[in-house]
């Protein structure tokens, strides 16, 4: 133990042990005796935080320290403990880290759906001889609304860097959708080189966001999967797209 590392306060240790039922927190283990582990290591956080600590048996603790069990999995085991506790005070209030990870996955999933809806709209416009296909317009509008809500949620749960990076990703997709709705020729006739540059720009926006999310979680970017989709329902804001008035088209 490092000389500057403080002892885990007894009330906090008791809280962690009770949370795990005085057993190893990994459901397939549940062994004893027990040790208290920091999910993000002490030398990086320099504090004892309930949401970053978990009870493990010595064997699982060793496996975690040597990387056989990664941090993302350990955060999930921590979240499972919260969800399985019938006496928790605020079941709707997950740990800050778990909430941020969930919002990040939701954001990624909804941006993927929006991407598909825009791509489908491009293809439909190219194949159509009568203008914008209404169903594709509706799907794109709906996907934009969901993406806006997911962006707002991620910014709410993250820090300023996360919010800025998430809005940058959203704006990238927004500009693409606006160009499609405005029928800009460049959207429908990219050269191979332009398309590769366009894809790289989008990819780097997601990379920056991933780095910001990991920084907010006190994780190295390699310790959190770059992409993993999740979805849940939200109240959706409207997002107007383009400048041609097509946003208002319902029929």
Q: How many domains does the structure of the chain reveal?
A: 2
Is residue 176 within 8 A of residue 120, CB to CB? The reply is: no
Same-domain status, 115 and 228? yes
Same-domain status, 136 and 231? yes
Is residue 189 situated within a structural domain? yes
Is residue 91 situated within a structural domain? no
Same-domain status, 47 and 146? no
Same-domain status, 79 and 44? yes
Same-domain status, 70 and 170? no
Q: Is the pTM of this model over 0.75?
A: no
- Give me the pLDDT at residue 4, please: 76
Same-domain status, 135 and 177? yes
Is residue 112 situated within a structural domain? yes
Same-domain status, 75 and 122? no
Tokens of 35: 């040790």
- Rounded CA separation 46/201 (Å): 36
Containing domain of residue 71, as a range? 10-84
Same-domain status, 156 and 233? yes
Chain segment 73-86, per-residue pLDDT in tens? 888 888 888 776 65
Degrees (nearest 5) of the Cα angle 127, 251, 141? 70
Chain segment 116-173, per-residue pLDDT in tens? 999 998 888 888 766 677 888 888 888 898 899 889 889 988 999 999 999 999 999 9
Is residue 90 situated within a structural domain? no
Which positions of the chain have pLDDT values less than 50? 1, 89-93, 229-235, 247-251
- Give me the pLDDT at residue 232, please: 43
- Give me the pLDDT at residue 167, please: 95
In 95-223 the beta strands, taken as DSSP E runs, fall at none
- Give me the pLDDT at residue 247, please: 47
């Amino acid at each position: 133990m490092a000389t500057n590392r403080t002892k885990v306060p007894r009330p906090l240790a008791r809280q962690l042990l009770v949370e795990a039922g005085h057993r190893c927190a990994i459901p397939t283990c549940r062994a004893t005796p027990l040790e208290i582990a920091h999910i993000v290591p002490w030398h990086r956080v320099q504090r004892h935080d309930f949401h970053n600590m978990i009870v493990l048996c010595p064997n699982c603790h060793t496996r975690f320290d040597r990387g056989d069990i990664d941090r993302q999995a350990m955060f999930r085991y921590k979240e499972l403990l919260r969800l399985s506790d019938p006496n928790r005070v605020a079941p709707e209030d997950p740990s800050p880290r778990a909430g941020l990870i969930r919002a990040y996955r939701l954001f990624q999933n909804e941006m993927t759906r929006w991407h598909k809806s825009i791509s489908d709209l491009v293809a439909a416009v190219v194949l159509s001889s009568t203008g914008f296909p209404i169903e594709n317009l509706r799907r794109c509008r709906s996907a934009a609304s969901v993406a806006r809500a997911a962006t707002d949620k991620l910014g709410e749960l993250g820090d300023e860097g996360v919010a800025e990076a998430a809005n940058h990703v959203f704006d990238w997709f927004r500009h693409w959708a606006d160009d499609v709705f405005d029928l800009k020729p460049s959207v429908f006739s990219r050269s191979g080189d332009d398309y590769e540059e366009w894809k790289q720009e989008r990819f780097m926006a997601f990379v920056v966001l991933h780095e910001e999310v990991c920084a907010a979680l006190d994780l190295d970017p390699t310790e959190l999967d770059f992409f993993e989709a999740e979805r849940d329902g939200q109240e959706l804001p409207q997002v107007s797209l383009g400048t041609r008035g097509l946003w208002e088209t319902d029929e």
